[in-house]
Amino acid sequence: MILNGAEILVECLKEQGVDTIFGFPGGAVLNIYDALYKYQEDINHILVSHEQGAAHAADGYARATGKVGVCLATSGPGATNLVTGIATAYMDSIPMVAITGNVTRPLIGRDSFQEVDITGITMPITKHNFMVRDVKELPNIIREAFHIAREGRPGPVLVDIPKDVTAQKDSYERKEPKTVEVSDKYITEQAIEKAVKLINEAERPLIYVGGGIISSGASEEIIEFAEKINSPVSSSLMALGGFPANHRLHTGMIGMHGTKASNLSATKCDLFIAIGARFSDRVISNEAHIANAKIIHIDIDIAEINKNINVDSYIIGDLKEVLKRLIPKVTPKCCDEWLKKVEELQKLSIPQYENSDAITPHYVIEKLNELTEGDAIIATDVGQHQMWIAQYYKFYNPRTFVTSGGLGTMGFGLGAAIGAKAAKPDKKVVCVSGDGSFMMNCNELATAVSADLPVVILVMNNHALGMVHQWQQFFYEERYSHSIIEKKTDFVKLAEAYSAKGLRITSKEEVVDVLKEALNSDVPVVVDCLIEAERKVLPMVAPGAPIDQLICE
C-alpha cells in the first residue's frame, strides 16, 4: 500500500509491538502527529510536560517491561531536551528508541529555525543513530533501530527524520520483527573450563551481580548457580531485585553505601565472581580490597573486560546462556566455614536504630515495604533517598526497581514512574524522591494527572540537597555551600494545583495512615514527608578508599 513517511513510521512501530509512545509535538513532527491521530486506536500517545520527561518515561517503561521504550520530540530544543534521558538509558543499558524530527532536507546545515545536529550530539550516548535521508530507507532504519536497541548489551538508538521525509510517499509492506539471537559466539569451551577450575578450587567464593542479570532474564540461573556452589551474593544498585532480598545467600548491596556483609566479604573471599556488572567506581573505588582474590568476569560486552579492573578469567556472552553451560560443570560446595563467617558479617549489617520519635528514613521505607508487601514498582530520583530505598526496601523480583544508576540523574524518578505505570497499570508504582530532585521535573505531575496514571510520589523532604550536604559535612569541613534549600514551595498545594492529591507527614504516628491513603488512591498523590537534614546514608565508603573502610557514624 502507498503511505506517506509518517504513516510508514507508525506502521513500523506497530510491527515492533509498540503500544505506547511518550512525546511532545512541534513543527518538524506535525506529520508524525497527524499519523498518530489516525492510528490512535493502535498506539497510545502520552503527552508529557517536557521532552526530558518523555525520555525518562520511555526509559521507565523499558525497565519495567524489558521491551523497547519509545519517545518522540521535534527538532532543535525538542531533540536536545531528550539528551539527558538518552544518556541515562545509555549508562544503564536500557533499550530505547528516540525519534526526532528535523528541518526539511534542503535546510539542513544552514542554521535553520530549530535546527540542531542531534545525531552528532548524541553519538557518544547512543548505541547507534540514524538520519533518514529518503522515505525508501525509513522502514528498514526503524526495524534496525529496534533490533540494535535490543540485541547484545541493550541501549538507546536515535532516529532523526527530516520533515519532508515524513511527507514523502512510498509503498509499504509489513515485515515481522527480526529475532534477537542469543549472544553466544564468544562463549568458548576454554573460557568455561578455566572459570570452572577457579570455581571448583575456591573455598570462599563471592558472587557480585550487576544489572546484566536483569537485562538477560538470568535471575533463576543466578539463584541456581549460587545455591550449587553455596556462594554469598552481593548486588550492585542496578541488580536489586535480580536476586531475592530474602534469600539466605543474599548479603545486600555492595559498594559506597553497601552493607558491611557485602563489603567485608569482598575483602575476605578467595574468588570474586562478577556477573553482568562493570566494576563501577561506586562499587570498586579502590581495587586493593580484592587484591588477594582471583577474579572471574562474565559479561555480554567484551569492552568491559579488564577495563576497570584486571581479571584472572572471563567469559563473554549472554549471561543466561553462559550460566546454563557453566552450572552443570561446577562441583557442588558446602563452604560451611565461609558461610558461617558471612552470616556473622550479616548480623553486623543489621542497622541499630535509635529509639526516636522523629520521622526517620528507615522507618518510613520499612513501612512502605510492609504496606506494599515488596510487590510495588519503586522508582527513585538520585540522592540520599535513592540509597535509603536500596538499603531498606526489600526487592524480591526483577524489574521492580527503577533508578538511574550510572548517570545519577536527578529529575528521573517521576517521568520513569509514569512510564512504569503506563506499562504496568495493575501494579502499585511509587516514586521516592527528595525535595531537590522532585523540583527538577515536578511539572510531570500534570502528565500523571492528565493520563490518569495514579502514581504515588513520596518526597523525603529535608529542605536540603541531602547527599551534597552529607559530603560537605564529611569532606568539606561542614561548609554547606548552597546545599540548604531555602525554597518556600508547599508540595501539598503544588500537588493540588496540578489536580493531584497532596498529603503531608509531620510525625511518626502519621506515617502508616498517610501511606495507606496514598497507596489506595485512584489519582496521583504527592506525600510531603518531613525529615531532618542531618540524617545520613550510612555506612559509607569515602571516594577512593578501600571498600572495607566504612564510615558508620
Residue 51 falls in the annotated catalytic set: yes
Q: What is the dihedral of CA 226, 230, 231, 235, to 10 degrees?
A: 40
**Residue 41: how many other CB atoms lie within 10 Å:** 6
Q: Where are the alpha helices (DSSP H) in 96-137?
A: 118-122
Structure-block grid coordinates of residue 283: 562499587
Catalytic annotation, pick one of 113, 203, 496, 509: 113
Active-site hit among 467, 491, 501, 536: 467
Identify whether 478 is a catalytic site residue. Answer: no
d(CA 12, CA 75): 21
Question: 425-443: b or e for each residue (b if 16 or more CB lie within 10 Å)?
Answer: eebbbbbbbbbbbbbbbbb
**Cβ neighbours, 10 Å, residue 419:** 33
Between vectors from CA 44 to CA 39 and to CA 48, what angle results, nearest 5°? Answer: 125
CB-CB neighbours of 550 under 10 Å: 20
Catalytic residue from among 14, 15, 114, 324: 114
Output the DSSP codes for 26-48.
Answer: -GGGHHHHHHHHHTTTTSEEEE-
243 secondary structure, DSSP code: B
Catalytic residue flag (residue 114): yes
Active site residue 412: no
Catalytic residue selected from 51, 151, 221, 444: 51
Reading phi first (left if > 0) and then psi (alpha if -120 to 50, else beta), residue 335 is in left
DSSP 285: S
Selected catalytic residue, list 67, 127, 163, 333: 163
By C-alpha distance, which of 328, 421, 442 is closest to 52? 442
Give dist(CA 158, CA 144) in Å, integer: 11
168 an active-site residue? no
User: So which residues are the catalytic ones?
Assistant: 51, 113-114, 163, 467
